[in-house]
Structure 1
């Protein structure tokens, strides 16, 4: 039996044909070609370092799309920030020979100094920690999607000529050998002919018949013919098709949502945003769909709000999705075991309670504020948590990510009397517990 051999397949990478005898050879050639023909960061059109503009110029797509993808992926998981800093380090400037990081190890010249290059390396290390240690693996998923998209983009459009030309080669002046007499060199140069200074006919030609005796003006240059106006670019229908599909799918999900528990407002916004994102990608390749950015930005913000309001640890069932809860019980029995909203405000006033008894209650807001007012003489054991925001629990303050305070305060009269056990939490917002 003869062993099967890999067929020789012609693979086109950046306009060149190569042979491969292994299924992974095409991917290897694409990666090598990407490194050889990396995007160059332009001077014009950049916002920070020109990484997004470099990718757009290299593959002839809309730079706004690249910026939106990097910003969104930077907010959700940090992958966009990691890719941007890496591009800053490995994509050369259009006027430099090499990128900052390869130039740091002596592989070329870069206008970026060594100190700033080391600073960018430190930022890249911090961004990688944020990306790989994020909750739910959003950073890893975003990084994988961005790298896969960049690989496919180079494989499909790597043969396109970049809009940013490579830097011109260095031109060196010719040098003369030592001991050369400069005066001798100069004396050997031929003397250019002097122009004829005569403006009138010579004495031997009073009628001016000699052709060189006439001093006629130069003919006026011919006027260039007016160029026809450039034809108007045909407007792509990708924007309208995407908008119609997003409205249709979003409306259908809203109608089905009461019967399907999974279709929360956050999930519906995510589905619509995915359709808009696909339309933006298709529009960047077909020359249209730029107006979809005005729809994608508010949808992304709304998705962030709904996701924040419904994510995070919830130690009890949420009482309502959105709104304000205000309560001022006058007895221990009137205090509910929990007060919670997905987004809004929870206000609890316990100053009307009697001086004896024991209270256990919890307060939660996904996106919003929690405020508790306790009696001046009550013994309070309180735990305050804020995933993103600030806490102020009986004078103990924290303002940072994952703020946590646990304190016990027996009031002005010392231990004894009414005992209150509180657990106040928010995903994004503020927590305040103070005495009335």
Structure 2
């Protein structure tokens, strides 16, 4: 990396928060709203969008300044080279995101970055040919005079290209300004076409909203929870997709405020949702040999739960509830304990021995007797979407 890195400043005009998106959009010559939407979406993936915006605030100086803000906050970095400061700042933010994000980043940021590239930067280098500028009255008069000298075979003007023969333009020996517009200097000013913001893309937005609501309704009929948050998320996704699709052709009026309002509504519903906490996200691999070590309830929002109960010993009946919203549950039943499995799967697959069931609203009970009069382990598995595998 060169020491004289290009300075991308944050403008004071047109900035909504800190001017990071406005400065990057000015350098890349794209719509700043496209970058703002990408930052907001990336903020839901482990705080990646907030980390990226924070890096911009620390590394991009204000317009009219040249020193990075991080050098003012941390004076000992002034002796570092620019590449070192940039790498250290980005590395520190990446570490912070990794420590504070429990579920990882996943594929979402890749899709967001691809959408920003596809709709914002694709074919950006292919400049469209611009129409030639309108000649001034003096240039029109000069061109007409050169053509007239060529028609009169004036020495030195033989190479001037003559226009295609049309109706009589000239009156000898001079041009009549009333009949020849090419030499008139009192032409009315050229009318510049004002690009009006079109309302037609709102039809696309309404259609996408309808598709999103239809998908939520169908998922509700299939047994998935069709909560108000799901409908608000469908509307937000439809409006955000319309913003991306109309980034090049022109955003319709009021679409951006409607998207922002939808995002606020969805965020408020997410914070006050009555569906209960989603639970942790990740993987759980445990092996239990006694009832004291085994919890009564295991709840995960998304991920994999793998329990090895083959060496479990019980002196009395015991219940175990496993609740997972999306993911997989793998159970290895105890050898010397009678087990009863009560499962409920809204959409997914159930495997036990040679029995395999898949579909929606899978409900059933399995009993694995190990002896008469022994303690019983009752396992209840509640899974919204995914797979349950049981081995004995």
> Which category describes the TM-score, using the shorter chain as reference length?
0.3 to 0.5
* TM-score normalised by L of structure 1: 0.38
Higher Cα radius of gyration: 1
* TM-score normalised by L of structure 2: 0.42
